[in-house]
Chain A
């Protein structure tokens, strides 16, 4: 088994209580399926959308390179999968895709010593 990080990028925010409810239920269902099959290593954390900083060359502190909200990482999860294509299959069910967002999948580097 290999580990992968799912980075949740962008995704339109819901505009009404009913819509919020639908989005949440989809996420809970997707996440539960993943967790029930033992693929979630770490549920991860949500990240604040604003208030972030970037320290650049010359130690300059800026509000970040995020040109658009759609590039923002809203959270991450650590999952276990046999290979990247299985991880990609999992990600295909992520509800963020229905709201214009995307899931970036990055393999965690293995340190076999």
Chain B
């Protein structure tokens, strides 16, 4: 990969976090201006002189100088970070204070502080995710909108609302605070959602969504680098993301069509990521707490280790879904469990398990609920019913890839071709 690909976006998060630390979170907008200004300066120089050997250091140094300029120019008329105000006021300490704030260790902490601040309890989860993407991943509102397949106006509203709440909090989240573990759970959740958003929509037409998975993994790994952040649940979440991301290259065929787990060419799975996932899962296996991320990662690990769907440990998977149902019961988890039961015991048991889902109406809008019913009907040779279910799934499809996938299943019902299979929501 080109070393400077996504350079500005990547650096943006680090730079904004560090400048905000000095300016105070109420001056977030000013910090963003300083960073964008540093980018423009870099651009002016690099476009004719070429990119320097260490562009990250160059950018960070430029942001540091700009920040110092702004502090000197505005320190009489504006309040900056309250905890640093004395040090900024004095010409004796201002330069060393800024220098310290830009040291590699401080920068890492600042990014983490910013990540935790973005997951403010007053913000809805989708706002938290948009804010993380905007501030820490350097995505513009338009880029987020295209990644989320939603409108510019809606994302802009989320980002603006998020920034307002962020700016109204007195300072960035304190990593030594008592709220740390509660906030860490919120951070896990937001990163999990970010990953999911990318995973479900990753397709050739929307390359930006695949980047969401990469960003989620990058930020989760960042948690592991901090002594407080490296909890078993953080390792489990990293494992889960790596194991799923390992399957991304095989999720679509040459034509860009979605392939279910049953039809994927397993030789195209990313073995490096899969191994990292398994290694992370081992590191996660400490401490008294079994999080839902642990269980989901263990399920993903079983799939990754299996040579094909027939030789998959379905009994183990059903057991893990049972555990997941006690930790985080949801109709989607129940549906996945039913599909695993169908693999283990046959279609009839699968249908029975689907029928037993407590609140099926919550699944009505979920295309893979209908697709699972369709696959099980098809497996029993009931083409008529299968087609009806796939049609119901089709009208609920969320993107062109899902739509094409379901159209092909309908076709399979009509002309009798295509081996019966069970489609997985998270294949």
Contacts and interface: CB of A to CB of B under 8 A. Distances in A.
User: Does A pair with B?
Assistant: yes
Contacts of A18: 8-9, 138-140, 143
B48 A24 contact: no
Contacts of A24: 4, 8, 42-43, 46-47, 51
Interface in B1-49: 4-9, 11-12, 36, 39-40, 42-49
Contacts of A16: 36, 138, 140, 143
A13 B33 CA distance: 12
A77 B12 CA distance: 29
16 contacts: A14-B39, A16-B138, A17-B9, A17-B138, A17-B140, A20-B42, A21-B6, A24-B46, A27-B43, A31-B48, A31-B50, A45-B48, A46-B44, A46-B47, A75-B44, A75-B48
A14 B139 CA distance: 14
B39 A17 contact: yes
A45 B46 CA distance: 10
B51 A21 contact: no
A49 to B, nearest CB: 8
B29 to A, nearest CB: 13
Contacts of A31: 47-48, 50
Given A19-B140, A21-B8, A14 B43 contact: yes
- Prevailing SS type, chain B contact patch: helix
B39 A74 contact: no
The 3 A-B residue pairs whose C-beta atoms are closest, nearest first, are A27-B47, A16-B140, A17-B138
A110 interface: no
A23 B9 CA distance: 13
B420 to A, nearest CB: 44
Given A16-B140, A43-B49, A74 B8 contact: no
Q: Which of A15, A18, A74 has the most CB of B within 10 A?
A: A18
A17 B346 CA distance: 52
Interface of A: 13-21, 23-24, 27-28, 31, 43-46, 74-75, 77
A75 B47 CA distance: 10
B48 A14 contact: no
Given A17-B12, A18-B8, A21-B8, A44 B48 contact: yes
B31 to A, nearest CB: 14
A77 B49 CA distance: 10
Contacts of B45: 46
Nearest to A35: B50
Q: Which of A16, A17, A43, A45 has the most CB of B within 10 A?
A: A17
A100 B45 CA distance: 19
B47 A28 contact: yes
A21 B7 contact: yes
A17 B8 contact: yes
A75 B49 CA distance: 11
Contact of B48 (A13, A23, A77): A77
Interface string B106-133: 0000000000000000000000000000
Contacts of A74: 44
Contacts of B47: 23-24, 27-28, 31, 46, 75
A19 B408 CA distance: 38
Contacts of B43: 13-14, 20, 23-24, 27
Contacts of B44: 46, 74-75
B50 A14 contact: no
B2 to A, nearest CB: 9
Contacts of B36: 14-17, 20
Contacts of A77: 48
Contacts of A14: 36, 39-40, 43
B49 A20 contact: no
Contacts of A20: 8, 36, 39-40, 42-43
B18 to A, nearest CB: 15
Interface string B45-83: 111111100000000000000000000000000000000
Given A14-B39, A21-B6, A46-B44, 15 more contacts: A14-B40, A16-B138, A17-B138, A18-B8, A18-B140, A20-B40, A20-B42, A21-B5, A27-B46, A31-B48, A43-B49, A46-B45, A46-B47, A46-B49, A75-B48
